[in-house]
Amino acid sequence: MFRTVLGTLTSSAFMLTSIKVAHTIAWGFFVACIGAVWVFAWSGKLLHATLSIGIVSVEVIVLVLNGLHCPLTPIVARYTDNRRANFDIYLPEWLARHTKVIFGGLYAGGIVFSLARWVFAAP
């Protein structure tokens, strides 16, 4: 058993919290990679931009293979009846609801920007 100030934390609550923390850390990592694409492309470090694109593309493939859902979502669903947009991650609900659109757009834009920097790079 795990103890809290308010009483006993069940193993289900511990698992829910642990998976949500892991999911949030993974989300932050991929958001950082998307941001890095832009920073590296802007600074002319196109190899680094390409590596960041590659890292995120692996996550995109995983999401596509899982029906555009994170593979952690069904695991979290075992530990809660909550089905709000942020039930599986520690994000504001509006951000969890729109994260694919927001960061998918930033990722696609970063790829286009990186390609433009590569095409128009001075020899």
- Residue 115 pLDDT class (50, 70, 90 cuts): very high
pLDDT above 70 for 5:
no
| Confidence tier at 93 by pLDDT (50, 70, 90) | very high
Tell me the C-alpha to C-alpha distance, in Å, between residue 8 and each of 56, 69, 80, 82, 87: 39, 32, 17, 21, 21
Whole-angstrom distance, CA of residue 56 vs CA of residue 33 = 7
> pTM for the complete prediction?
0.86
**Residue 27's domain spans which residues?**
2-119
- Report the number of distinct structural domains present in the chain: 1
Q: List pLDDT tens digits, range 8-54.
A: 567 888 889 999 999 999 999 999 999 999 999 999 999 999 999 99
Q: In the structure, what pLDDT confidence band is assigned to residue 1 with cuts at 50, 70 and 90?
A: very low
- Cα separation, 118 vs 123, in Å, equals 10
Tell which phi-psi region holds residue 81, choosing left (phi > 0), alpha (psi between -120 and 50) or beta: alpha
